[in-house]
């Protein structure tokens, strides 16, 4: 697991917390920020997956 996967997981957790608090308190802005953080986390994880795939393809068999 590389740093992109770790950062992605952290963003997703942070986003889920913000989204949950926003829903519970009726704060639409906080809920939206949470959704954005979750999407950013997903994107970081995809980036990490892409980097992993590139590393595997660069290694000779």
pTM: 0.81
Number of domains in the chain: 1
Residue 20 has pLDDT above 90, yes or no: yes
Rounded to the nearest 5°, which phi and psi values hold at 59? -80, 135
Mean pLDDT of the chain, nearest integer: 92
Alpha-carbon gap, residue 33 to 54, rounded angstroms: 31
- pLDDT band, residue 61 (cuts 50/70/90): low
Question: What does the block give as tokens for 11?
Answer: 């963003």
pLDDT digits (tens, 9 = 90+) for 30-49: 999 999 999 999 999 999 99
- pLDDT band, residue 53 (cuts 50/70/90): confident
Which pLDDT score is estimated for 38? 97
Task: For residue 48, give its domain range.
Answer: 3-58
Q: For residue 51, with 0-12 CB atoms within 10 Å meaning exposed, 13-18 middle and 19 or more buried, which class applies?
A: middle
Q: Provide the sign of the torsion angle of the four alpha carbons 9, 11, 12, 18, taken in this order.
A: positive
């Amino acid at each position: 697991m590389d740093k992109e996967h770790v950062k992605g997981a952290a963003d997703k957790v942070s986003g889920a917390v913000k989204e949950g608090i926003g829903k519970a308190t009726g704060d639409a802005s906080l809920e939206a920020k949470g959704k954005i953080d979750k999407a950013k986390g997903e994107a970081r994880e995809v980036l990490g997956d892409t980097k992993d795939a590139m590393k595997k393809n660069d290694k000779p068999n």
